[in-house]
Structures are given as C-alpha cells and as structure tokens.
Amino acid sequence: MSRFTREFLLWYLKRKEGGEWHSETLRTLFMRHRKIEAGKNSYGWAHDYINGPLKIGKYVSIGRNFRRISKNHPIDYITTHPCSFSPEFGWVKKDKRKRELLEIGNDVWIGDNVTILPGCNRIGNGSIIAAGAVLTNDVGSYEIWGGVPAKYIKDRFDKETAEHLENTKWWDLEEDELKKYINDFKNPKEFLKHFEK
C-alpha cells in the first residue's frame, strides 16, 4: 500500500469514526498490522513512525513527530551495518534482534518531537515527557522528564496526591460518570474527595 493510500485511509477513518479518540477500526488495524494497542480517548499513535509492540493506556496525548524505536543496531557484532542482521540485504534469513514491548500508562502526555529508544520499556501513569526529549530509561508514575538524553525533572504532585490519583483509576470510569467531575479536574485535592467514599 502506498504512503498516500495509507494517509488517505487514516484520514478517512479518523473523520468517519470520530478521530483516533474513538475509532475502533483504527485500533483493530494498528493492533493487527503494527502491534500497537491503544486505549480509549488516546491520540497521536496512528502514524507510520511508531513501531510496536506498544501498549498505550487510556487518555494518552502524543504530540507530533513522535518516534518509537523498538530495537537498536547491535554494537557487539563486527559491524553495525544492517547487512549483518536485516533479511532485506539477503545475507541473513531472520533478524535475531528482539523488539521490546513499550508500555505507556494512562493519562500520559508525550510532547512534540519525542524519541523513545529501546532502553525504555515503561512510562508510568500520569507522567509527562517534554517536547524534544530522547528517552532511554523507564519513567515512574506522575514524573516529568525532559532533555537529551532525557532526565528526571520533577514530580507533578506530592507523593501522597500522586498515589491517591493512581489508586482512583479514574481513566476506567465511563465518560458520562467522569464528566460529572470536570469542574474539579483543575484541583486534584477536590477531585480526590469524590473517591474518598
């Protein structure tokens, strides 16, 4: 399938089925052909530059030009050239490098121009990856990372608030239920009061 055809199909399905947020057809196609599983209301994952296997949680925001590289050139071979590992060159029959699963939690924001390298296998719930970052390590829940290579910057909330937010699993609520709390989204302490019962 040509790139134009793929882009047209993506555009058509997004328009017809309410965007990446809601399109079950896109989710099925990307799971079947790219090994990308995307949770409800997540967007930014349906393009050519993201390699699976990848599991994306719910309410994930992925910026433009996001790249996920799932495996590296081997550095312990005598050459790093693809002739030594890629069947496309015809020298080997099978690529022995393993694609690692990357799990992106719920409510994660990944900024524009972020690259995630094979050393990163998990991005925790509620975390933020700053625009332009090159991520090589796992990221904990509600942490903010940025830079090249990306480093921990700070936590979004104090540990107690972050733990309570994570325990609510608010992303699993039905949309109609969640909309009831929209006025408290800007105030985590008030939002958490709804879950104290």
Annotated catalytic residues are 73
Taking a C-beta distance cutoff of 8 angstroms, is the pair 59, 107 a contact?
A: yes
- Partner residues linked to 123 by β-bridges: 104, 139
C-alpha 154/C-alpha 157 separation (Å) is: 9
Q: Is the distance from CB of 181 to CB of 187 less than 8 angstroms?
A: no
Q: At what angle do helices 24-34 and 3-16 cross, to 10 degrees?
A: 150
Q: Are β-strands 128-129 and 143-146 bridged in parallel, bridged antiparallel, or unpaired? A: parallel
- Cα separations (Å) of 182 from 28, 114, 139, 196? 30, 29, 27, 17
Distance in angstroms between the alpha carbons of the first and the last residue of the chain: 53
The contacts of residue 4 (CB under 8 Å, 6+ apart) are none
